[in-house]
Amino acid sequence: MSERLAPGDPAPDFTLPDADGNQVSLASHKGRKVIVYFYPAALTPGCTKQACDFTDNLELLAGAGYDVIGVSPDKPEKLAKFRDKEDLKVTLVADPEKEVLTAYGAYGEKKLYGKVVTGVIRSTVVVDEEGKVERALYNVKATGHVAKIIKDLGI
């Protein structure tokens, strides 16, 4: 089971391909706050709702100094389909090896319909301008989560 992050921890740096195969790294966002959210699979109902919520609130978040990066184990080609089908504006990156998911504590055992399974734990980590964890939220709900983050961050 991967370790969960806590406020004050250094956020693990990463460089992953986006939907177009371009490399996206956390380090390139230094000086801005970043909301890194982890979701199980593109093109599924809950993940679509969450990605659309982030897209709908992207201007508000960007205006408050936040960039948004969505991480899933999907391949870039599937992320491109997801982005195009849903007209998503958030940056989506692929982590098929699950290394970043694991480093952030977003991959491991979870309960699914009462059974214990290993998979992506829907999580959101807010990283400050210095690359430290400001907030780490695990087992979040897909619906209503973005509104809760905005409220919690006082945006």
* Residue 115 CA neighbour count, 13 Å, CB half: 4
Q: Write the DSSP string, 5-37.
A: P-TTSBPPP-EEEBTTS-EEESGGGTTSEEEEE
CA distances for 11 relative to 41, 85, 90, 102, 146, angstroms: 23, 31, 20, 12, 20
Give the span between the Cα atoms of 25 and 11, in whole angstroms.
Answer: 12
Q: Which residue among 5, 36, 47, 90 is the active-site one? A: 47
DSSP 114: T
Residue 47 falls in the annotated catalytic set? yes
Q: Where in the sequence numbering do the catalytic residues fall?
A: 47
